[in-house]
Each structure stands twice: as C-alpha cells, then as structure tokens.
Structure 1
Amino acid sequence: MKATYELHFSWTVRTTDRKVILLLKKQSRARGTCEAVMWGITNCNESIALKLSFHYQLFPAMVAIYYHDNLDTPENFTEDHDSGVPVPEERLSEIGVFYRYIDNMEDLEKIAKERDYKNRDQIALNLDTFKGDQKAFDAKMAQFYKEHYHEDEEIRYILDGEGFFDVRDPEDRWIRAKLNKGDLLILPAGIYHRFTLSKRLQYVKAMRLFKDEPKWEAINRDEGRNTEARLEYSKSVASAA
C-alpha cells in the first residue's frame, strides 16, 4: 500500500527573514516520509501570509517482532514484554513462519489459492465473546497462552483488533509478533507457540483459513508428545539454529 496526501495550510507569521523552511514530521502506526518545503517571502511587510503545501507518503507499518523479555507472569502476560531486541522478518521465514501485510482481499485470495486454502471462517475474541463472564474469559486466555503446537498449519488474518503470537526459535527463545489489522501470519505444523490478546485492546477479530477440516487439538509441550508433525518441523529448522 502506498498513499500520498497533499495538505494545504494558510499560516500568518511575523518575520523579516527572506525564506522559511518547514519540516513536518508525523508519527503514527504508518511509516511515512515528509518533504522539507521552502518558500521565498513575496513581500517586505513584517506580517506575511504563507501558503504551505507538503506531501506525506503513507506506508503500511512494519509488524513489531522482537525477542520476548521472559518477565511474564499470570497477571501481566498481555503486556508487550518487549526485550528491546528486534527480530527481522527474515528470521521468521527461516524458522518456517510466513508473515505478510495484506490490505486487500484480492491479495489474500491469491495467497489462499497458492497455498490451497479452501475453507475459512471468522472469530472474534474479547470479554463480550463470553457474555461478560470474566472467569471464563480468563480461563480461555490462559489456555491460549499455554505453550503448544498443532499437527496442521495455523493461519490467521487479522481483521480488527490486536494480539501477540509467540513462537519458539531453534534456540528455545520466544519471538513475539504483535499483530494488527491487515497482518497475515501462518505458523507451520509442529512449531511451539502461544497467543494472547494485548492489554491495550483486549480484542481481536481474525479470519482462519485452512485446507481441509483442521485438527484443532493443541498438543501442550508439558505433555512431552513428539508427533510426526513435531519431528518433521524440528528436522526442517535444525539448520536455522
């Protein structure tokens, strides 16, 4: 996605300078570039009117990916837990995780066709999902946050809200990806992972895609079960350690 916005301002300043340079900066979820704009003074009055024009190019944000600080507790695991050590997107690819920012359904459909995802549904997760039952909501959050793997891919396209996916790298470190609207994440079968909503929003709406009828069973790490999916995944990323 790339959008350009042209903004026009009328601004009166008192100055005797012959030129004015204005550099506008904007900070938001989107990454942008701003141009420095220069105008010459058109008259010699102390009070002059300047008509400003600048272009702002808006780009999609890079997903936040970083090593988890490992300071989570049952009370604070929905916080960011950013260690301050970023992880490049390429590292996700090396351990079999697919990430893409997608802002239109055409591109999503293309990926679904390429990867043979025939079926899909949508889920929403927040306190309202449990009709305000805080105990049931907390129990589900704890379940999702327990380290586990699946025997099928786990595909999530974020439609709204925000959440964290944590994945284990070959050195057994947690890599955390903070996902927002437009983020597509595909976890390979056999990878240890966990999920939580963010403390800030406590809400996510996502599309789940799958090839056939998925196996939703979560195989928790503390069970010690190494199925074929887990063994195959471990073998495939051994060289990425």
Structure 2
Amino acid sequence: MVKVWLMDNDKEDDQRLEHHLEPVQMLDLDYLDSHGIKYWQVDADNYKQEGLLDKIRKERGYSYEDFITVSPEKLPNYEEKIKSFFEEHLHTDEEIRFVLDGSGYFDFRDRDERWVRIAVEKNDLIVLPAGIYHRFTLDTKNYIQVMRLFVGEPVWKAHFRPADDLPCRDTYLQSLTTM
C-alpha cells in the first residue's frame, strides 16, 4: 500500500533516502486525489486473471504498454538516466506506472509548492496527471520493475521546469480549483 508524506527537500543527503520532515507529516490517499493523482492496488502476480488492470485500462483508454527495469544492472546509462528522472519536470500526458516488483519514490509539487513523496512498491498503480511537476527516484534497494501505460502512442518527452507556458500546466492548475 502506497505511503505519502511531506518531504524535507532541503537535505543534501542521498535522494534515495525517505527525507521525512521532523516531525513526520504523513498524508493520505485523499491528499493525492485532491491533486489529481489516482491510485489503485493491483495484484502484480495475477493482474491478468484478476481483471482490475483491464478494467482500469478500458475506463481510462490506456492502449499501449511496455516494461522497464530500473537498476544499475538492467538500465543502460543508469547513472545518467536516474539523474534525469530526478530532475523536476512535467509531461503533456498522464504518467501511468504499475509496479510489478521493487520500489521507489515519486515526488510531486503540491498546490503550495511543497514537495510530497509517494513511496511505491509492488502492486501499486499510480497515475500522475498531465501538467503536474514531479520527479522519480529509486529508494535504497536500487531496483524497480514497472509497466508503463499510455493512451495511444507513448510520449516520452519531459518538459523541465519552468514549463508553465504549456497548455497542460494551465489545465492542471485549473483542475486544482475544482478539486
């Protein structure tokens, strides 16, 4: 089950550490939902038989999938890639990740520009809306395997901050006023 907290981003420590504030300030799934982030728990070992992933795919129009393993042994140019994943950016489409094995962190900027950390692990399916500033890193286990889902053809382009001139950013900010 996903865990969410306000993050201490001032530390110069390893990005793979938890980075809790003192005192710890945990958040709940409603907090994610209030920022347009969707979450489901899906059985990674039996998702084909279970049917929940197929239902979500049909409802949300996810028609493309691929798989990636992020670890020093499996990802070419690992150090370069992991640094680019951790640069603050947004996408013009949703970012959909289903964790099949391992664990890591998605960080996003909340409506008050604070960093929020989402710890994901096996069985977590998370959807970050288009236009939300975010980043990704592994945790200290240095391993995650995910299914990446897309509506139509995949769009891989990350728009690094500042990207406030993109229509998806304005649409995202407008959506926060109705949540």
| TM-score calculated relative to the size of structure 1 | 0.68
The residue that corresponds to 1:118 in the other structure is 63
Following superposition, the deviation at residue 72 of structure 1 comes to: 3.6
In the alignment, does 2:25 pair up with 1:85? yes
The residue that corresponds to 2:169 in the other structure is 230
Tell me the percent identity: 39
The residue that corresponds to 1:63 in the other structure is 2
Structure 1 stretches lacking a partner, 5+ long: 1-61
**Paired residues for 1:23-172 under 5 Å:** 62-73=1-12, 76-83=14-21, 84-103=24-43, 104-105=46-47, 106-130=51-75, 136-172=77-113
Moved over 4 A (4+): none
Following superposition, the deviation at residue 239 of structure 1 comes to: 5.1
The residue that corresponds to 1:40 in the other structure is none
Give the letter for the 1:92 counterpart: L
CA deviation string 1:43-62 (max 9, x = no partner): xxxxxxxxxxxxxxxxxxx3
1:67/1:175 contact within 8 Å kept? yes
Q: Which has the higher contact order (CA 8 A, sep 6+)?
A: 2
Give the letter for the 1:122 counterpart: F
Q: CA RMSD in A?
A: 1.4
Give the letter for the 2:84 counterpart: Q
Structure with higher strand content: 1
Equivalent in 191, 200, 204 of residue 132 of structure 2: 191
Name the SS of the counterpart of 1:237 in structure 2: helix
Following superposition, the deviation at residue 141 of structure 1 comes to: 1.2
Give the letter for the 2:15 counterpart: F
Name the SS of the counterpart of 1:82 in structure 2: coil
Give the letter for the 1:76 counterpart: D
The residue that corresponds to 1:18 in the other structure is none
| TM-score calculated relative to the size of structure 2 | 0.91
Answer with 1 or 2: which has the greater Rg: 1
**Matched residues, number:** 172
The residue that corresponds to 1:58 in the other structure is none
